Amino acid sequence: MPITVLIVDDEKDFREALCGRLRVRRFNVLAADSGEAALGVLREHPVDVVVLDVRMPGMSGIATTRAIKHSYPLVEIILLTGHGSLDASLEGMALGAFDYLLKPARIDELVYKVQDAYSRKTDQEEKIRRLQFSTDRRDSGE
């Protein structure tokens, strides 16, 4: 099953180019041009991994990270930014971002990160499923 990736970046050229590159690599790709728009997409579609720019007008990448983790805790977030900021990077990681990459990033590296993020998501889902299963078993008196 293809991995669903949501690209969130206010810069149109970059966003569209990255979407194209990831589609070639057989990812199922969605796009949004702002934090608010991203949350809108998440409401309508199941998403595995979000690739998010840190510096956006309006809702910042950090604020978006916080909001996504709050409502969709299993969705993994990769922060991809042109700005190397020590503070923003640690803040993003502490909020639960999977990773923080600097542009220009090699497409290979980004793909590996998306794959690893997806693995983590499925691991977490599996863990929850097993916990649920064993709880169910216990509850049903086995």
Partner 1 sequence: MAAFSRIAALVRSWASRLHTEAKDFDPAELATAQEDLRARYRALRLLLSANTKALGLMAEMEIAAAGDRPVDMAFIRARCTALVVSVYQMVRQLNAMADGRYASLFDSIHRVKEQLRLVLEERSRDADAPLVVPLQAVDRSIRGIVGAKMGHLGEIRNVLKLRVPDGFVVTARAQEMFFLENDLWPEIDRLLLAAPPEGAHELFALASRIRQTIIAAELPAEIRQAIEGAYDELSKEMGCAPTLAVRSSALDEDAVGASFAGQYHSVLNVRRENLAGAYREVVSSMYTAQAIEYRLQRGLRDDRNRMCVGCQVMIDARVGGVAYTGHPSDPEDRNVHISAAVGLPMAVVDGRSLTDTVVVSRAEPRSILRQTIASKTLQFVCDAEEGVERQEVPEQLKRSPALDAADALHLADQALRLEEHFGSPQDLEWALGRDGELFILQSRPMQQLMRVDRESTREEAGPPLVRGGLCASPGVAAGPVRWVRRDSDALAFSEGDVLVLPQPLPDFAALLSRAVAVVSEQGGIAGHLATVARELGLPALFAVEGAGALDEGKTVTVDADNLAIYAGRSERLLAGQVSKRSLASDSPVHRALTRVMEFIAPLNLLDPDAVSFRPENCVTLHDITRFCHEQAVRETFDVSRDSKFPRIASKQLHHKVRMQWWILDLDDGLADDVHGKYVRLEQINCAPFHALWEGMTVVPWEGPPAVDGRGLASVIFEATTNPALGTTVGPQQQQGNYFMISRQFMNLQARFGMHFCVVEALAGDRDEENYLTFTFKGGAADDTRREARARFIADLLEERGFAVIVHGDTTAARVAGLTRDNVLFQVKVIGYLLMHTRQLDMIMANPLTVERYRAKIRADLDDLPRTLGDKINVQDDGNRTRERRDNPREETP
Choose, by CB under 8 A, the member of 58, 127, 128, 135 that binds partner 1: 127
Residues 45-104 that bind partner 1 (CB under 8 A): 55, 80, 82-87, 89-90, 93, 99-104
Widest pairwise Cα distance in the chain: 58
Q: 30: which strand partners?
A: 6
Question: Is residue 132 close enough to count as binding partner 1 by CB under 8 A?
Answer: no
Question: In sequence order, which residues have a C-beta less than 8 Å from that of residue 120 and are 6 or more positions away?
Answer: 76, 98
Contact flag: residue 39 with partner 1 (CB under 8 A): no
Span near partner 1 by CB under 8 A; candidates 33-41, 42-50, 57-65, 116-124: 116-124
When the beta carbons of 44 and 142 are compared against partner 1, the nearer one is: 142
Q: Is 69 exposed, middle or buried (0-12, 13-18, 19+ CB in 10 A)?
A: middle
